[in-house]
Structure 1
């Protein structure tokens, strides 16, 4: 057989049948890390009013809690993305949750607000690596014909984590009235997931790209055997020449690879996730100030997050039919418009809550498509860092956004603040339409 006709190891992996005991297990373990990311980010919205009450903080000062956590996640996203591209998905896959667990314990023991902000920052650095590393690893084990659907379904873990965060917060405060226990509840399951991740295989695409042929073949042959596929000859891609970029050089490599794709990724992440994080951070406070009881505001926001599961299902069903760009281009601006309607409906709490639930569905159509789309724009050697840097930019925007939001809220009002955020989403979508390709059905490389 001529060499040119022999498939690569990457092609073999991406053409395997999907089995729940193989690729499905990786999807579940990766998704649990994503669930904790959602749980922790969402927790800021619950902790801000509780911590403010305990330590007598004003709104802008209390908002520093969310800022420190999200900025930590921003730094963690590019740090861990670079580590995953250089040292392997598996190592980063495990250590992100270990670091998060350690500093969450310390956060629960904080003696004052200053220590609490510092520990929430460091926990964020650990957890910030979950999204880029998890998406890179799950995507590289998934058959290409199902990759868009599987990566989109990954976001189903987000509304589960977000809903758990608010439900647990409401339950703990109703029974124990101690916000420190809200953090403690997260620690044991997060550490258990860390232990499970130690048994995960390394990505064969990463091993092949690094020239570790024997290890790559061992993983690929095991995948072929476990999925019941017919064994066939394949070639391991030649290792790239020269050393890969150091972590601080990753951003330069991304812009050198494609300025248009990197700009598209950053703009979409910044704007779409800013809208979502603003809602998660401030909706409990907004509803409470509109006259709703605190426990009821937690419950309403939890149900909104849980409604996101319906959005993820819709996205998973449509992403391969409609394509990434069209689905994202419609759902992302629509989510912002719904949030504006929420802001102008606060005088009628029942109506506002109904629109909040609609927002929970629509925004979770946009976000999983965004994650799947950006993870497909880069080659293997830049995939984790490309996604990680885009996530970094979104976390910086979402971290400092609440501070600006708290300052402008009494000046311009909620409807105009949400309208401004929606306008930014529309600009990002127009940039994507002009400069980025559709990735539906493309093989990863």
Structure 2
């Protein structure tokens, strides 16, 4: 007569009922950090033409602003992902926003373009940790049966932040005509979210993976009580491996776990997000050069970002039915094709803006599915760093991509540039189809 294996604490957490006052609160707090990430990244597209005008910069030089910010985010993504895996999600969860707020203040006070680029880089280092840390924490508190929808819904905060960025930029420039105030508007809410995050509990999956049994039990018992779940006996499984601390050890560990999954994650992040960041960075300038007023181009891009909420809703409804791989394989290349149509219709502003809005919907089907999918490909001890390194690769590509884009734009034209980016996305989809598994309905390891 065989006895059943004891239930693990990890299983208890992932089988809890979802309650808005418990897991939902963590989703909202994590999502607000993600919103600031979107706001800041999107801000590059608004700031580039404004600082270029103030300091007399050419297009490639002004593009360094976006590059410095995104490269800072790239470094922050793997630095904070590693910190989250070694020292805990909670500490990284709050400190990322504090660093961002401090250097955003300094950026608003910059006396010249050189200082501004440096402070935008350092603000990016702070904010770059938000996505990997937030997704790891929210995913580890979410019941397994809802995890795909919740992580997909996390991306709903992105179009909110991106839309706010352009709406605020358009409003400030229309009323005060001072780009420094655009930065100042972000600071107070960022500090408020930092203070709120100090009350978020540490991830019980992280505590269990680190062998901190007493702390893990305290969090799990509290979650069981607050969600009204039946009390069950459980065990905290002993950790099997210690998370490497150094960045090269992180890469080695990710490759040792599965080079195919790691390569797939990096390819997906680089190609899909390159398409999106190119649009965010250059659409205001593209629309302005096509004859649209600067404030109107800001508002058009803001509406595009806001239309992404429709895409996020579609992704949340479809991700558990269709599966991560199929939904991503359809929506990601399609978003690139729509961007090509934008470039081909610039002589007809109404048609171009229409395709811009369609792009806003379709790309925000692809991106939340991408985030949910990659966050599920790694085990707990590698989740934040695995996601962080994939995010790092995308930030580097998105940082240097606009520089190349600015140089090639007058040479080969917009349609050819967007076609090249779309071909890269298709290559990544083929790689995913061959080497990465479907994660729909799987329990996190």
Q: Which position in structure 1 is the counterpart of 2:374?
A: 374
CA distance in 2, matches of 1:78, 1:340: 32
Q: Is the 8 A contact 2:243 2:381 kept in 1?
A: no
Q: Which position in structure 1 is the counterpart of 2:235?
A: 235
Q: Which position in structure 1 is the counterpart of 2:43?
A: 43
CA distance in 1, matches of 2:206, 2:225: 20
Q: Is the 8 A contact 2:22 2:226 kept in 1?
A: yes
Do residues 143 (structure 1) and 166 (structure 2) align?
no
Q: If the length of structure 2 is used for normalisation, what is the TM-score?
A: 0.99
CA distance in 2, matches of 1:336, 1:58: 27
Q: Is the 8 A contact 1:77 1:131 kept in 2?
A: yes
Q: Which position in structure 2 is the counterpart of 1:438?
A: 438
How far residue 252 of structure 1 moved from its aligned partner, in angstroms, is: 1.3
Q: If the length of structure 1 is used for normalisation, what is the TM-score?
A: 0.99
Do residues 356 (structure 1) and 356 (structure 2) align?
yes
Q: Is the 8 A contact 2:85 2:243 kept in 1?
A: no
Q: Which 4+ runs in 1 deviate beyond 4 A?
A: 1-4
Q: Is the 8 A contact 1:78 1:392 kept in 2?
A: yes
CA distance in 1, matches of 2:87, 2:4: 30
**Which digits, 9 at most, give the CA deviation of each residue in 1:393-428, with x for residues without a partner?**
000000000000000000000000000000000000
Give unmatched runs, 5+ long, in structure 2.
none
Q: Which position in structure 2 is the counterpart of 1:185?
A: 185
CA distance in 1, matches of 2:89, 2:243: 18
Q: Is the 8 A contact 1:33 1:134 kept in 2?
A: yes
**Which digits, 9 at most, give the CA deviation of each residue in 1:321-375, with x for residues without a partner?**
0000000000000000000000000000000000000000000000000000000
How far residue 189 of structure 1 moved from its aligned partner, in angstroms, is: 0.1
How far residue 256 of structure 1 moved from its aligned partner, in angstroms, is: 1.1
Q: Is the 8 A contact 1:83 1:247 kept in 2?
A: no
Q: Which position in structure 2 is the counterpart of 1:414?
A: 414
Q: Is the 8 A contact 1:245 1:253 kept in 2?
A: no
Aligned pairs for 1:239-250 within 5 A: 239-241=239-241, 244-250=244-250
CA distance in 2, matches of 1:137, 1:237: 19
Q: Which position in structure 2 is the counterpart of 1:386?
A: 386
CA distance in 2, matches of 1:143, 1:211: 22
CA distance in 2, matches of 1:437, 1:340: 30
Q: Which position in structure 1 is the counterpart of 2:76?
A: 76
How far residue 237 of structure 1 moved from its aligned partner, in angstroms, is: 1.1
Give the secondary structure class of the aligned counterpart of 1:5.
coil
CA distance in 2, matches of 1:26, 1:6: 28
Cα distance change, pair 242–39 in 1 and its aligned pair in 2 (3 A): closer
CA distance in 1, matches of 2:357, 2:365: 13
CA distance in 1, matches of 2:177, 2:350: 27
Q: Which position in structure 2 is the counterpart of 1:404?
A: 404
Give unmatched runs, 5+ long, in structure 1.
none
How far residue 248 of structure 1 moved from its aligned partner, in angstroms, is: 3.7
Q: Which position in structure 1 is the counterpart of 2:332?
A: 332
Q: Is the 8 A contact 1:33 1:193 kept in 2?
A: yes
How far residue 249 of structure 1 moved from its aligned partner, in angstroms, is: 1.4
CA distance in 2, matches of 1:3, 1:382: 32
CA distance in 2, matches of 1:2, 1:441: 28
Cα distance change, pair 258–175 in 1 and its aligned pair in 2 (3 A): same
Q: Which position in structure 2 is the counterpart of 1:265?
A: 265
How far residue 431 of structure 1 moved from its aligned partner, in angstroms, is: 0.4
